Structure 1
């Protein structure tokens, strides 16, 4: 099978990546982008067979620290009268692979623990009075089930050698395996004897640079994959086709840009002008002599192999200049800020504290007191199993919950802009409301016209209420930007008091002509607007300014740009935009 055939379909790419991973899994990983379904189940079942006799264990994405790295076994400690350590999942999986579903929900702490184990092959147990370094040479399979704006933490994804996508794969696309468990056992036995040369490394580095892959780990994973592919063929020497497949499997999914077109490369590679007649021509370098499989020809072949492995959607996105890497919702702010609570939310590790500050975590408190048990007992109580708990042993429960986000539209409803912009804003608000049911997000609308600003739509998640409020929104009159921003700041303050994370989205052409006191005059009106914008910055409210000026604007002197700068917000020029474009801009700028 040729390289293009081997990666011609998503299932073939995924199954080949899984096979290469199964040959050399320790210190590497597999990221599977797919929801639960028959295709993912078939791939996981195949991986379990290919890994045998290595152990494939499973762990939840929200695993606690004491389960992941280990800690004090309270029951065994009380029975034995001395500290007894409990082995964590990482140490227990030493020499095997850990599979984690819903990897997009992995916390940064868990990702850091997994990344350290993948880097060092060890886990540091330093908690509950225990201190030890335990072997944890493991591989990781992370199953990403998130939406378009969700992804596992980058610290973990970067350390997973293979990224595959099964979102468009159905059960009819699943093909039977071409290799047997005996083939994988033989490949693992042969793998230490497989050798690579410096030319392969140089070529892979050059390919990674052309596709915008800036992580050196990706090149190392490509080398490991090439060696594993050679071992699967029963050979001890890496061939060019092994390098092509390895680059397609590891560098292709990480691509952030397309390489230069062939005509540009040819112009860059044009031979230099001939030397003067009185000077002898320089010797031709060995790599340019034109033999078969020269480094230049090999590099061209690998470029085409990686291009063939790029998914069609990714290829179109890269060609259009769209960003490649997805971000998790916690990073790009698709939901509100995280806060700590003693009562509700996602449970976290217990922390030392007074009982007046939270509820007692009984097991954690006993775990903290158990190592001191013998020292605290009186001599005549040596045979007692009693545990003496002191105030410094108290551990209280903590929870983490996310605030909801409130997007406050501040819309210029004055004069001609009312007719051209209000319809677009209405559509954008309805689109945002459609996404609010999966999160605790709300939308509000403040309109300014005439001489005042008013709350047209208080913060809500109700689509019906929003439509009723928006249907009768009038327009016309002057442009009191300062009044609109003052009202928006008051709404933002109310949202914060309710535990929400506010964001102000200002849509205007910036041509203020009504002052705070209701008077007229463009210079003073703009000055008042800038003052109101500075108050928003001082309140540390995230802001976005959308310039709706049909002509002009966008330059360094544009009034809307000045307002964005005063708010410490983002500036976007949208002279012509429909509801979908406004919705996309706002979603990408939601506060962190």
Structure 2
């Protein structure tokens, strides 16, 4: 790769990221690959393996690997055989100079992620457990395989912040992944040049400015982008970072991290006076003029334009809707309810010291591991002498050695639909709201959620459908919903809060979706009056917020209403105005915001 190109026609971004990562794995942190298991992801991993030196290790970390397997610890078999503590090497120490591949990184436990990022930051693995205290130098890169199906299923934020490349291969096929034109020899030569590549203060300032414009709050992002630019320059055989290197780094490192659409400066308003038409210039002169204007453009603007053009379409759509995809609160999905501790069910999350009672499960291996370091002392206390080369006759386990298995499971989710069936809603969007709720009900059925339906019209809010999994009952209740009458919005909010509270008391996670135009005209006492009705609705919204429930308010009016937006703000709900959407558009928007609803406090 000796020539630079702003478009990189030969490279797909995924393979380009693999090549840059192979140049400096430890300095760039690694790559997060969002894709289900398949030939596309396997082809990317094979391409990365081919670019790494033959001696570079590539270690895989299974999802349920224990901390002792990852960091190292007591070799239980050798310790019991020898009668003294014997240490074993962990995966991170064995990966020195290579790459660690995390399987199903979206489910990685936070305590394991903390150990991993500590090793990445320090360049060494610190082991202080089981009577051992070791420090092993280890510099490696990480490939986090992200198989999440929704936006909230992501690897831990601390880990993602340290990985330079966030690559989405969800829709990639083998035909999309072109053969790499970079060889392992070229990567090795670039790795030797990497540290000597010069990066100017102006270039670093331009990357920082671009990161700020994209709403990236972490300082690591521009630092990783700077290292990616150096790796690109080294791969091109250059001694300093140029404009194309910076554009490539902004495209690969900064664009996938964007949390807002950058506001480009508008050109100065030209005079409104009528100007005489300018004479047409020859094509060659026009091209030269465009090139000169591009050269005169500030470096910050050039890099920002490259990053903005590379924002993924799905992320761009979410940013236009004002959603923060980095909010990883629990979604309205069935398997994304609130997490809770469990004695016997759910995902294993380690062990703790405890007694065997109340249905607790003893973890035999960890119990023996806790007891092993104390065996020499306990044998001495018993007066037992271990002859050289002879195994101990028994292992003494005491009550303090007991280790109890811990589990974590997610509670079931109940989605409560609160539908405005008043006269104003019936006039505007009740048909579309019904259609959208039907589509969302089908999604809830597939995820095995419970669903409930509250309709409000006239002077009251009615629970048409208690929490259930019956899709037929839900559709029948919705189809028979008439429209017309006043809008008792305060009563509807109170009814939704009461139902959500009962759902929460059952150990489930409630999620509420309001579909209304926000025009309250019936007070809480049932009397008409717009002023009092609006005051009651705001008071109910504040009480709803204090209860800590999560909600989405979809403004179904023909034009976004300030009252609906204010109401959503008072109840701490996501406000979603959809003046022109049909039933499919409504349902898609609610699906998108559901995965960004913040968890209850």
Pairwise TM-score range, normalised by the shorter structure: 0.7 to 0.9
**Residues 1-12 of structure 1 mapped to structure 2, 5 A cutoff:** 2-6=4-8, 8=9, 12=12
Tell whether the 8 Å contact from 2:4 to 2:236 is kept in structure 1 after alignment. Answer: no
The 3 A distance-change label for structure 1 pair 512 and 66 is farther
> Counterpart of 1:579?
583
- Counterpart of 1:219 in structure 2 is 222
**1:99-498 alignment runs, 5 A limit:** 99-149=101-151, 150-257=153-260, 261=264, 264=267, 299=300, 302-303=303-304, 305-306=306-307, 309-311=310-312, 317=317, 321-322=320-321, 326-327=325-326, 330=329, 334=333, 335-357=336-358, 358-377=360-379, 378-383=381-386, 384-418=392-426, 420-437=428-445, 439-477=447-485, 479-481=487-489, 483-498=491-506
The answer as to 2:13 corresponding to 1:13 is: yes
- Secondary structure of the 1:408 match is strand
TM-score (norm 2): 0.81
How far apart, CA to CA, are the structure 2 residues paired with 1:521 and 1:205? 54
- Residue 18 of structure 1 deviates from its aligned partner by 0.9
After TM superposition, give the deviation of residue 141 of structure 1 in Å. 1.0
Q: CA 1:128–1:513 in structure 2 vs 1: closer, same or farther (change >3 Å)?
A: same
- Superposition CA RMSD, Å: 3.7
- 1:342 is displaced (CA, Å) by 0.5
Q: Deviations over 1:290-315 (max 9, x none)?
A: x999896655654555456555665x
Shift of 1:399: 0.9
1:83 Cα offset (Å): 2.1
Unpaired runs of 5+ residues, structure 2, are 271-291, 387-391
1:499 positional shift = 2.2
**Farther off after superposition, 356-365 or 56-65:** 56-65
Tell me by how many angstroms 1:444 deviates. 0.6
Point out the more displaced range, 353-362 or 415-424: 415-424
Count of residues in Structure 1 that have an aligned counterpart in Structure 2: 561
TM-score normalised according to structure 1 size = 0.82
CA distance in 2 between counterparts of 1:416 and 1:202 reads: 54
1:312 to 1:471, Cα distance in 2 relative to 1, 3 A? closer
Equivalents in 2 of 1:572, 1:230: separation in Å? 44
Note closer, same or farther for the CA distance 1:321–1:451 as it changes in structure 2 (3 Å cut): closer
Change (3 A) 1:73 1:480: same
Q: Which runs of 5+ in 1 are unaligned?
A: 268-290
SS at match of 2:33: strand
Matched residues in 2 for 1:489 and 1:368: separation? 48
Residue from 507, 513, 517 that aligns with 2:522: 513
CA gap of 1:127–1:462, structure 2 versus 1, over 3 A, is farther
Structure 2 residue 510 is matched with structure 1 residue 502: yes
- Indicate how the Cα distance of structure 1 residues 89 and 553 shifts in structure 2: closer, same or farther if over 3 A, else same: same
Q: Which moved more, 1:84-93 or 1:191-200?
A: 191-200
DSSP 3-state at the match of 2:350: coil
